Chains A and B, each alone.
Chain A
Amino acid sequence: MSTVIEDRPVADAPVMSARPALRVPITLGVLGVIALLAFGLGSDSGMDSTFNLSFRTDVVQLPDLVVPTKGTCLVLSLLCLGIAAYSYFLATRLRKTPMWLTALYGVAWVFAFLVWAIEGKSTSLVDLLQGSLLLAVPIAFGAFGGVFCERSGVVNIAIEGQLLAGAFAAAVVASVTDSVYLGLLAAPVAGWLLGLLLALFTVKYAVNQIIVGVVLNVLAVGLTSFLFAAVLKPNAETLNTPPLLQPIAIPVLSKIPVLGPVLFRQTIIVYAMYVMVVVLTLALFRTRWGLRVRAVGEHPEAADTVGIQVNRTRWRNVMWGSATAGFGGAFFTVGYIGAFGPEMSGGKGYIALAAMILGRWTPIGSLGAALLFGFATKLVSALSVLGTPVPSQFLQMLPYLLTIFAVAGFVGRVRGPAAAGVPYLKG
């Protein structure tokens, strides 16, 4: 038995499923009806919703996108219901709803919601997208860190702590050296140090990986808060005022309307994220290293019998993964806020873990899920600025509810690396 951050089915429900799996179509259907009733029929006719497509600073100003609220909501919610019906049709034939269709559904639903929410007002679409991307950065790096570890069979609950440690180290080193890039280098080292403890206790001493992860998070919170209160606060001038990373516009690409400024006028951390997702995907699925790592995470005994050093592989991957998560932590301080604050990671590490699961332990999927969480968070702040009928506290729950929904609903029982969570001991 494994204690794994994958969906360990406890089911004493019958193993077989002769009946069509209706969970997805029903969920889609219910949400579709909500969209139709609340957004479509619930909005006033004659009102418009406005989206700004350019930043005010952009040289080329695109005209605003103005859509009639009611009509758009009706069309989008009917599209959602259509997809739900098709999904039901597929389910009765024992076929699964394709992922792209679910994604299309999600986009249509969210857009319907957005159009309804800004009825009679305007919001900046580029700002929304850029904000989503930025908020996704630490989640994505955390999830990549999780992919490194879990693919080799080590559950990394300590992502949260690694992000925090990375944020702290980046802030301090960048402040002291006055070099934001040295800060960026310090962050992975801090994550790496926590990873050292994670590997020591889980790989060498075979302590339960979830326990170690949880405790390391407490340790990271304690250490950073202690040092913050004892050292950083009294010396904020010298130790906690790091320079901020400046965006670098990529020639040509940054000129693309809408997407250009969103994707290609970013800081180096964001570009590192693009590189990382490509490199990690190729490394994991196309190289010798990846094949061996996956073998270790799926069936360590088999890897051992062909001469692969299981625990050495795990050590290495935990180090890489923790450093990756630590690097992502730098975003909080030198990439976004500009100073360290206690517990500033605010649960992003746990959301990263969920993003990794939702992304089925692949880098691309993790990035997609991270963007989804980033979008949910950004949406909440955008809407609370605009003012909506829903209390802001409920909006703030959105990313967390989305996470629960993700691990319980659509993901269902996806299969993670079979040996994740199980220490490898030999005679």
Chain B
Amino acid sequence: MSLFEPFTIPYMQRALVEVLVLGALAGAVGVLVVLRRLAFVGDALTHTVFPGIVIAHLLGRSILLGALAFGVLTAVLLTVLGGHRRVGNDTALAILLTSFFSLGVVLISRTRGFTADLTVFLFGRVLAIDRTDLVQTLAVAAVAAVVLAVLHKELVLRAFDPEAAAAMGYRTGRLDLALNLLIALVVVAAVEAVGTVLVIALIVVPAAAARLLTDRVGAMTALACLLGAAGGWLGLAVSYEVSVGYDLRLAAGATIVVVLVGLFGLAAAVAPLRRRWATRKGLGNPMGVPQ
């Protein structure tokens, strides 16, 4: 199997750039998602941008703008609804997620080609993205990367010690909104190209794997970016190789997810070894996590 040969074809090159950028970005944001246990928020956002995409599609407007509008709306609603005493956070999420998704399904069920559209939304069409898609993704990813770089210290502080963050004068509500918006940006950048199922995997799986391998936030972020990008590359190569070489069509997006989960399994397998080594070297446990 070759890791480079498939990427001499233009559409494979575009797919590769797309998954490398998204893998790295989603890995970096995913670290915050995993530290704050917000995997469900990520999952919710991947579903709630759907009606935005459908409405934009029906009106003939930019799909990116439609997704962005609903992503921002969800981020705000989540921050507000999560505060209600009698409605738990995950309850609010589940209702918001399913009702927005249903709205999209109802709207799109009025059009022809219903099932094909839905499948593209769920699983993406990473092999069919064109230059415009790529530029849009890169632009949104750049904005998300800048926000992440500017607020990273504050967001990490908020994740570990909300009281200290509040005492130091940071508005934790605004930081929560910023993180929700960041997740929304990643979802919006990725959803049209790679589909909702892949987005949530790109956000959660590399970060969860990195969490198994290191205790330091900086190292965890670097590792998550690396794992996300590597999983994307490897997944594309495997999907191409099997589809062309063995005539067994493997969906590219789903193959990437399976490779990522395989990397997570590998991390889970070597994590106990690493911890034993770190303990013997006396490197201890800087985050104070009970072992």
Q: Do A and B come from one complex?
A: no
Contact residues of A with B, CB < 8 Å? none
Contact residues of B with A, CB < 8 Å? none
